Amino acid sequence: MSWPTMILLFLATFLGMEVFAWAMHRYVMHGLLWTWHRSHHEPHDDVLEKNDLFAVVFAAPAIVFVALGLHVWPWALPIGLGVTAYGLIYFFFHDGLVHRRFPTGIAGRSGFWTRRIQAHRLHHAVRTREGCVSFGFLWVRSARALKAELSQKRGSSSNGA
């Protein structure tokens, strides 16, 4: 397999992970597996939370793809590396910059990071599985749009809608 093809496959996988992560966060974490994710929306002093199990679950396919890519199908390697790269950047951003679970060495004050940090904090403004906004990481709407959506959701839930 050529290097340009491998790079394109890596980039497509990395970007495709945003769609996958959004859907998993919106429909699985705030759906069927809320029992795991709830720990992330509640205050606690523990080093680990039940939500951290998702990292293990999402790492498994990446490990399998890398192993298959190294030993069986070369096209699986850039896919596994794309998933891994997305996971590492997400971990650094989410657990380091947003939740301050470990020092990152950067302030995260650039417009790029500020927008994502604001969006994630607005996501955490709701501690239940319903009514949250902003489930993505790379692509996020403006804080103004998210605040308006959050306000609208709160208004309709208080009206019995």
Which has the higher per-residue pLDDT, 82 or 120? 82
Q: What is the pTM of this model?
A: 0.85
Percent of the chain with pLDDT over 70: 97
Residue 160's pLDDT band, with cuts at 50, 70 and 90, is low
Distances (CA, A) of 61 to 65, 85, 94, 128: 6, 13, 20, 29
Question: Residue 11: what pLDDT?
Answer: 98
Q: Report whether 85 contacts 10 (CB < 8 A).
A: yes
pLDDT digit string (tens) for 55-89?
999 999 999 999 999 999 999 999 999 999 999 99
